[in-house]
């Protein structure tokens, strides 16, 4: 799609908005689907047959990010520490706690809605700039906490031999991908090398819109007090239009059901395979 977008701009330079919207809207939608696929596969703690497949899970999410193996680990830690959707960090540090603080710090929404006007608008902003499971800011947060220090506060014995090489390999691929996007925005479009950022910015913008939208539903909606109060009223029988619209946006009713019953789905997975909560999973 990115190459086709570049070709469209080169062929129809006077129709920038038309070319950009025809590329950007489907690209954002595909990013949403990619996260839901990643999320479902990750909950099974599965790993690709071939190593090169691990680099394809979320390369467009940001300019650097967590490798697939650490993506699995950090999200499992989230579920291990936050078993109840509305009690974050109940069993230890949750890497997603900052998200919940923005939407729950002042107590019940009904009596404190005006306080949340100060913080809730920042939720899509922090997602857009990479504070989600596949983003750069989230990767920095995770790397500051993992791997755990060794005995006596010493460096983890596998830090340099296992974790750093894996992070370098993953992000070398991600950066090389974005370098190709930069180059597509130069000579093919009749621009100098220094102006490749213009094309890269557009591609990254629509990718971030899609990834941010997906993670806001997975992270913020499912863990919000108003959303769970809404579900308690049995909206399935009284909001059919909402169900149909959200099923279309998220890529099917099965994915919308996952948002409706996220806690029940994860609870069932834990019962079927308690080992998924083992943070020492051999990755």
| pLDDT single digits (tens) 233-266 | 765 667 778 778 878 877 777 777 767 666 555 5
Range of the domain at 103: 2-277
Q: Which residue has the higher pLDDT, 21 or 111?
A: 21
The answer to whether residue 228 is domain-embedded is yes
Tens digits of residue pLDDT in 78-132: 878 877 766 777 788 888 888 888 888 877 777 888 888 898 899 999 999 999 9
> Would the pLDDT of 9 be above 50?
yes
> Would the pLDDT of 277 be above 80?
no
> Would the pLDDT of 50 be above 60?
yes
Lowest mean pLDDT among 44-48, 251-255, 266-270: 266-270
Predicted confidence at residue 201, as pLDDT, reads 98
> Would the pLDDT of 12 be above 90?
yes
1 — pLDDT class (breaks 50, 70, 90): very high
The answer to whether residue 127 is domain-embedded is yes
Q: Which residue has the higher pLDDT, 261 or 146?
A: 146
The answer to whether residue 35 is domain-embedded is yes
Select the highest-mean-pLDDT range: 3-12, 39-48, 95-104: 3-12
Predicted confidence at residue 237, as pLDDT, reads 62
How much is the average pLDDT of 163-181? 97
Q: Which residue has the tokens 């909560």?
A: 277
274 — pLDDT class (breaks 50, 70, 90): very low
Predicted confidence at residue 114, as pLDDT, reads 86
> Would the pLDDT of 171 be above 70?
yes
Predicted confidence at residue 5, as pLDDT, reads 98
Predicted confidence at residue 275, as pLDDT, reads 47
> Would the pLDDT of 65 be above 90?
yes
The answer to whether residue 282 is domain-embedded is no
Q: How many domains does the chain have?
A: 1
> Would the pLDDT of 280 be above 70?
no
163 — pLDDT class (breaks 50, 70, 90): very high
Lowest mean pLDDT among 40-49, 141-150, 244-253: 40-49
The answer to whether residue 120 is domain-embedded is yes
The answer to whether residue 283 is domain-embedded is no
């Amino acid at each position: 799609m990115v190459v086709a977008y570049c070709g469209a701009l080169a062929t129809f330079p006077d129709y920038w908005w038309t070319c950009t919207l025809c590329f950007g809207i489907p690209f954002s939608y595909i990013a949403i689907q990619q996260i839901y696929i990643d999320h479902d596969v990750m909950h099974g703690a599965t790993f690709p047959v071939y190593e090169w497949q691990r680099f394809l899970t979320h390369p467009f999410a940001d300019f650097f990010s967590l490798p697939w193996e650490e993506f699995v680990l950090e999200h499992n830690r989230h579920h291990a520490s936050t078993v109840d959707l509305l009690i974050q960090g109940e069993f230890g540090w949750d890497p997603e706690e900052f998200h919940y603080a923005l939407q729950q710090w002042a107590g019940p929404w009904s009596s404190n809605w005006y306080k949340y006007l100060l913080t809730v608008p920042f939720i899509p902003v922090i997602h857009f700039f990479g504070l989600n499971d596949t983003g750069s800011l989230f990767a920095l947060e995770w790397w500051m906490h993992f791997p755990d220090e060794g005995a006596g506060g010493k460096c983890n014995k596998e830090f340099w031999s296992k974790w750093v090489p894996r992070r370098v390999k993953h992000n070398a691929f991600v950066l090389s991908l974005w370098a190709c996007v930069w180059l597509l925005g130069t000579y093919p479009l009749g621009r100098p090398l220094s102006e490749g950022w213009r094309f890269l910015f557009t591609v990254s913008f629509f990718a971030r819109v899609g990834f941010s939208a997906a993670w806001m539903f997975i992270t913020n909606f499912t863990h919000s007090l108003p959303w769970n109060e809404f579900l308690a009223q049995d909206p399935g029988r009284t909001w059919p239009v909402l169900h149909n619209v959200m099923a279309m946006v998220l890529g099917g009713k099965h994915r919308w059901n996952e948002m409706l019953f996220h806690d029940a789905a994860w609870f069932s997975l834990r019962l079927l395979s308690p080992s998924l909560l083992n943070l020492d999973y051999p990755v």
